[in-house]
Structure 1
Amino acid sequence: MPLAGDLHSAQYFHGRDGLGEITERHPDLNLSHSLRDHSQLNITDKCGVDVALDLLRAHPARSITYIVLGPMTNLARMMRKDGDLVRDKIGRIICMGGNLDVPGNTSAVAEFNFFADPYAVKDLIVPSNPSAGLPLDRFLLVPLDITTPHELPFPTYQQKVDTSFDTSANPSIPAGKQPLIHFTSSFLERTREMMIKFGKDAMELHDIVAVWCAIENPPDTDLAVGWNARKRIFDVERTGEITRGMLVVDRREDESAYSPGANRAQIQAAIENQKLQHGAWESTALPAQVETQFEQYSSSQHGVLCVTETPGAESLLQLILKRVWGIEN
C-alpha cells in the first residue's frame, strides 16, 4: 500500500505476476523446486525495508546505490524507520519516476510510479522541511522525459534474438531455443501485444535506463561521459482530482523549464528535428507574483537533479543485446 490513499497497480499491463501472466501461459517455466535450495539466492522472511536497512548497516558508508524502479514507498518507510542511517550511509539514489515537460503515462499529467504513491515522493524529494528528506546531492531522478526515447524494437528482437517471436496469440515454444531466449520471449510476447495496442511495436526501457545510469555512475563519482543532468524545481500533487502524482514545475523559478504558454509538443519536435537550442519559439512572459494569506506549497528551492542526457538510445540497445543475449552488432 502507498503511504496514504488508495492502492493503484498496473496489472492490466504487467499481469498479476509482473511478467504478463507468464505463469499461466507458460507452465513449463514454473519452478518445480524451492527457491531456498538455490545456490545463488539468499531467501529471507524479512520485509524489503528491513533488508535494505540491514544492507546499509553491513556495508561501508556511501558504497551502496539504491535504485527505485517502482513507487517510492519502501524508501520512504526506510526513512521513517531510520532516516539518519539512510542519510549517513546511502551512496547514491537513482529514481525512475515522474515527468516534467512531457505527458504522463498513467494520467494526462502523471507517471505511474509517482501516481501510485505521491505521498512518498513528497516526503523524500520535496518535503516541507528539506532536512527531513533524502540527501539530494546524492539523488538522480530519471523521468519519462529521458527514458521514453530508449526502446527495444520488437522487430529488432525478432531479427537478432528469436526469429519465431510473436505475441501471446502465438506463444514461444521451448524446443530448439536456449532457455534464456525462451524465457524472455515468453514474457515479452505479452508486452508486445500491449504495446501494439498503444500504437508502438517496441518496449520502452524506462527501468532499464535507471539501472544503466546506476551502473555507469557509481557513488562518489562525477557523471560519466555522455551523461548529463540539471536541477529542476517542482512540487508534487498528492490529492488533486485529476492531477494526482503530477510534478508541478515552478516555471517562475526553473530556468530550464518550458516557458508559460509554450506548445510543448511543438517545441519538443523542433528541438528533436531541427536541433534547436532550448527556448526557441517559446513565450517568455511571466506574470507578477501575487501572495496570499495561505501557506504556499513548498518546492525544492535548490532543485532536484534530473537526468537530461544519456549516451543514447542506440548505445543502450546495443548494450542490452550484448549483455543479455550475447549478441554483438
Structure 2
Amino acid sequence: MAPNRIIIDTDPGVDDVLAMLLAFSAKPEELEVLMLSVQFGNIDVQSCLRNIVSLFQFIEKERAWRVQNGRPAGFETLEKTKPIVAVGAEEPLAEHMMVADFFHGIDGLGGIHHSHPHLTPAETWKSLFQPTPESMDAEQAASLQAVKDQHSLFTPSTKPAPEEMLRLLRENEPDTITIVAIGPLTNLAVAAATDPETFLRVKEVVVMGGAVDVPGNMTPGAEFNTYADSVAAARVFALTSPNPRTTMPPSIPGGKGQLPAYPETLSKQLKLKLFSLDITTPHLLPQSLVKSYTAPLESSPLVQWASLFLSSTYRKIHSIRPTLDASTLGLEMHDPLTIWYCLTSSDPKWEFKRSEDIRVETSGQWTRGTCIVDRRGKGMKVDSDVQHGLDDEVAGDAGGWLDERKGNRVDRCVGSPGTDVFAGVLLDRVFGGAK
C-alpha cells in the first residue's frame, strides 16, 4: 500500500515537536513527509524554525548513536524523502498577534535554548533560508556547503511556505497529498486565496483546532489555534461549504492581510477533518510513563533532549494546576493525535461526525476563535414560503444555518483507537529504537 503523503504545517511548540517525531519515526511505506510549512503560533516564526532545525539535529545525533550501539538507526522515512522546510506567516491576517509562550516557554521548548545553549544549533543554519548570493568566492561557497552538510536531513527553501505548498499540490496528482495543520491556519488561508483550485487538489486537510462541546484553552470558548488567527480559520473552513461566500468572515477594517474572495464557482469542496479539543484533550502522555520508559535510555541523545523540554512542560502544567497530584500529571497530545490518524487512518476505530456546520467566530468581543455549531438541525422549518437568493436574510434563519445550500461541511473526529493506548504507541515509535 502506498504511504500517506503529507505536508505538516506547524508552529513548534512542545506537542508539535512530538507530532513531528512521531511522523519521522514512521516506516517509508506508512508515511512520507514532503514538507514542513512553518509559521508563527506558539512562538514567533524564527524561534519555530530554530526548533525544527534542532529537531533534525537531534534526529541525526540519535541515528548515529543508535548505529554505534548496534541498533537500527530508525527514522527510516527520512532516508527516502528529505522534507522541504519553508517559512511562512509571521503574524495573523487581521488580529493582534497572540503567542503561547506562557505555556511552551519563550523559545517554544521550555526555555532550553537559554538554559542549555550547548544543545542549540549554531546560528549558521540561518544562511540556509536566505537567498544565495549571485556571486560567491570559493571560501564562501565552501562555507555554505559545509552548513548544508551539517543539516542534511531536510531541504531548506527560500520561497514562502504557501508558495511551496501550492507547488507540491500542482506538481502531484490530485487527492494524493494530505495537509496536516497543527498550528494557526494562516499559511493555508494564504495558499487557498492565492490559487483556490490548486489548493483544492489536496486529498484532505487534517486540522488540530477548535473546541465544540468542551471549554477552550485560550478563552472560555476558543482553542488557541483558531483564536490565534480566527479569520484564517474561518476562510479555510468556508471552503468546505457548497457556497463558500455564505460562511466567509466579514472584512475587518485595517486588517494587515486582507485576502481576496474565492471565485463564485469552485470545482469541489474541501475535505476537512477536525481534531478539536473534544477529542485531543483526553489523549494524555503521563509524566510517570515517560520517566519509566526513558529511564533506561538516559544516554540516548534524543531522550536527553526531549526529557528537558518535557520536564519543563510538566512543571508548567503543575504550576497551572497545583491541586493535581504530581504523579498523575499528563501532557495533552493535541498535535500528535493528527499524525496518529495519518498513520492509521484505515483503522475502523476512528469515528467522525460527518458534515457538521462548524463556523469560526471572527468579530465577537468575547468569542474570537470560538467554534459555533447549530444544534437545531438542518431539518427545521424556517418562516419562508418563497424562493430566495443565497444573500437573502430569511426570517427565522439569520446567517443561513438552516438553508441546505449554505454552511460548512466539516468532519469532526469523535473517537480514536484508544485514549489509553496512544501514549505507549508514541513512546514505542519515537524512542523504542533506542532500546
Match of 1:13 among 96, 103, 123: 103
- Further displaced range: 127-136 or 8-17: 127-136
Q: Structure 1 residue 230 and structure 2 residue 353: aligned?
A: yes
Q: Distance in 2 between the 1:114 and 1:47 partners?
A: 22
Q: How many percent identity over aligned positions?
A: 31
Q: CA deviation at 1:85?
A: 0.5
Q: Distance in 2 between the 1:75 and 1:235 partners?
A: 17
TM-score (norm 2): 0.59
2:187 maps to which residue?
Answer: 74
Q: CA deviation at 1:208?
A: 0.5
Q: Distance in 2 between the 1:137 and 1:224 partners?
A: 22
Contact 1:128 1:298 in 2 (8 A): no
1:250-289 matches, within 5 Å, as 250-253=374-377
1:59 maps to which residue?
Answer: 172
Q: Distance in 2 between the 1:138 and 1:315 partners?
A: 28
Match of 1:128 among 230, 238, 245: 245
Q: Distance in 2 between the 1:134 and 1:227 partners?
A: 28
1:24 maps to which residue?
Answer: 114
Unaligned runs of 5+ in 1: 165-175, 218-222, 256-285
- Further displaced range: 49-58 or 111-120: 49-58
Question: Aligned pair in 2 of structure 1 residues 298, 69: CA closer, same or farther (>3 Å)?
Answer: farther
Match of 2:292 among 150, 159, 164: 159
2:371 maps to which residue?
Answer: 247
Match of 1:305 among 411, 425, 434: 411
2:272 maps to which residue?
Answer: 139
Contact 1:68 1:96 in 2 (8 A): yes
Contact 1:160 1:327 in 2 (8 A): no
Deviations 1:108-137 (A, max 9, x none): 000000011111121121343477689556
Unaligned runs of 5+ in 2: 1-90, 126-146, 239-243, 248-261, 385-392
Q: Distance in 2 between the 1:288 and 1:60 partners?
A: 43
Contact 1:125 1:136 in 2 (8 A): no
Question: Aligned pair in 2 of structure 1 residues 135, 315: CA closer, same or farther (>3 Å)?
Answer: farther
Q: Distance in 1 between the 2:98 and 2:395 partners?
A: 35
Q: Distance in 1 between the 2:212 and 2:367 partners?
A: 13
1:179 maps to which residue?
Answer: 301
User: What amino acid maps onto 1:151 in structure 2?
Assistant: L
Contact 1:162 1:181 in 2 (8 A): no
2:336 maps to which residue?
Answer: 208
Question: Aligned pair in 2 of structure 1 residues 39, 234: CA closer, same or farther (>3 Å)?
Answer: closer
Contact 1:65 1:90 in 2 (8 A): yes
Q: Distance in 2 between the 1:11 and 1:302 partners?
A: 32
Question: Aligned pair in 2 of structure 1 residues 327, 134: CA closer, same or farther (>3 Å)?
Answer: farther
Q: CA deviation at 1:43?
A: 1.1
Q: CA deviation at 1:58?
A: 2.6
Match of 2:427 among 317, 321, 324: 321
2:318 maps to which residue?
Answer: 196
2:220 maps to which residue?
Answer: 108
Q: Structure 1 residue 119 and structure 2 residue 252: aligned?
A: no
Contact 2:112 2:309 in 1 (8 A): yes
Contact 1:154 1:202 in 2 (8 A): yes
Q: CA deviation at 1:310?
A: 0.4
- Paired residues in the alignment total 282
Q: CA deviation at 1:302?
A: 5.8
Q: Distance in 2 between the 1:136 and 1:198 partners?
A: 41
Contact 1:8 1:116 in 2 (8 A): yes
Question: Aligned pair in 2 of structure 1 residues 156, 60: CA closer, same or farther (>3 Å)?
Answer: same
Contact 1:192 1:202 in 2 (8 A): yes
Contact 2:93 2:231 in 1 (8 A): yes
Q: What SS is found at the alignment partner of 1:65?
A: strand
Question: Aligned pair in 2 of structure 1 residues 111, 49: CA closer, same or farther (>3 Å)?
Answer: same
Q: Structure 1 residue 148 and structure 2 residue 281: aligned?
A: yes
Q: Distance in 1 between the 2:430 and 2:111 partners?
A: 22
User: What amino acid maps onto 1:182 in structure 2?
Assistant: Q
TM-score (norm 1): 0.77
User: What amino acid maps onto 1:55 in structure 2?
Assistant: L
Deviations 1:136-172 (A, max 9, x none): 56211111000000010001111111379xxxxxxxx
